[in-house]
Amino acid sequence: MNLVYLIPVYRGKGYAHLLTDYAEAFFRSHGVESYQLRDSPSNARAIAFYEKAGFQKNKEVTQPHVLWCYTKTIGR
């Protein structure tokens, strides 16, 4: 998976949870135990969602733009 984006009309309605649940079910069915994502530190709403959903910030990348990297362990 490369990019997930919700257009504004769908934000705040639970679709991010549905997408995350679907992705994690797919990952588990393929033996994935953890996954990572990156986002801009200025995307406060998404960052709050990631942290509430159990993602852990593990590093910051600064090339070419500052991005925060998050990891979530989901098990099998």
Residues 6 or more apart in contact with residue 74 via CB below 8 angstroms: 24, 27, 28, 32, 33, 34, 35
C-alpha R_g of the chain? 13
pLDDT for the residue numbered 63:
79
pLDDT for the residue numbered 26:
95
Q: What is the pLDDT of residues 15-69, one digit of tens each?
A: 999 999 999 999 999 999 999 999 999 999 999 999 999 999 999 999 789 999 9
Residue found under tokens 């990019």: 3
Domain boundaries, the chain: 33-76
